[in-house]
Amino acid sequence: MISFPPCKINLGLNVIEKRSDGYHNLDTVFYPIPLTDVLEVLPATTTQFFPSGTLIPGDAKDNLCLRAYELLKKDFDLDLVAIHLHKVIPTGAGLGGGSADAAHTLRLLNQVFELSLSKTQLQGYAQQLGSDCAFFMEDEPMLGTGRGEILSPIQLSLKGKYLVLLKPEIHVSTAEAYRGVKPMRSQPGVQEVIEQVPLTDWKKFLKNDFEPSVFAAHSVIKEYKEQLYAEGAVYASMSGSGSSVFGIFDHAIDFDHPHTIWQGELSL
């Protein structure tokens, strides 16, 4: 059985405060983008993980897809499987590709083994794998609070808008990004901006709190954002903790840039 885990961008990302457990409370909107990996789960005689495509850092045995399988296997009598992940979504980009792969592994295993787990139950497992994993049980934009695992519907449609997604050859670690951020609650909040402020004014109010320190350390990321505005984007931002940046346009453009990883019309 095959699945196509998508990535996400963040529309606004406010780091509100550091929690006693070491995590941070966030205020953000996750928006799914149809740049996808390819994930396949097959019966096997030994549990195996086969990566292909873009190089995945780290030891394969620690991949989130395998961890998702082992997590479910603790509670269910799962047969052995071979997991093939063809990686397209770049890592270290703030796009949530690894979280999407883990979540879609849970979704596939639920189907393959007919576990009849509800979305809420699957999200419970996903939360154990990563803060934004639960979002990838959804197929529409969601407001994310808490560590990003508390999800709420939001009134948002970018259908018909055009998106350009750029990824410089820079890896920004999440730890690096959090070291440079100064937690503070923003007013108005992300939901209020998204639902009440016209898209043309988002750039005045919708901020990513990771940008100041990440831009200071990696000026090329800031330059890419500025290039998107120069090309006519109505809103541009870094996604997550970087290093990817995106621009939203009112109409299709032919954006000829060597580090464009996806561009196309939005459908949600």
- Give me the active site residues, please: 8, 132
DSSP string, 188-242: S-HHHHHHHS-GGGHHHH--BTTHHHHHHH-HHHHHHHHHHHHTT-SEEEE-TTS
Which ranges in the chain belong to alpha helices (H)? 64-73, 97-112, 119-127, 174-180, 190-196, 202-205, 211-217, 219-230
Burial of 17 (0-12, 13-18, 19+ CB in 10 A): exposed
What is the distance between the alpha carbons of residues 224 and 214, in angstroms, rounded to a whole number? 13
What is the distance between the alpha carbons of residues 87 and 84, in angstroms, rounded to a whole number? 10
Burial of 101 (0-12, 13-18, 19+ CB in 10 A): buried
What is the number of alpha carbons within 13 Å of residue 190 lying toward its C-beta?
A: 26
User: What share of residues in the chain are helix, strand, coil (percent, to 5)?
Assistant: 30, 30, 40
**Which residues, listed in sequence order, are joined to residue 226 by a DSSP beta bridge?**
none
Q: State how beta strands 38-43 and 2-3 pair.
A: antiparallel
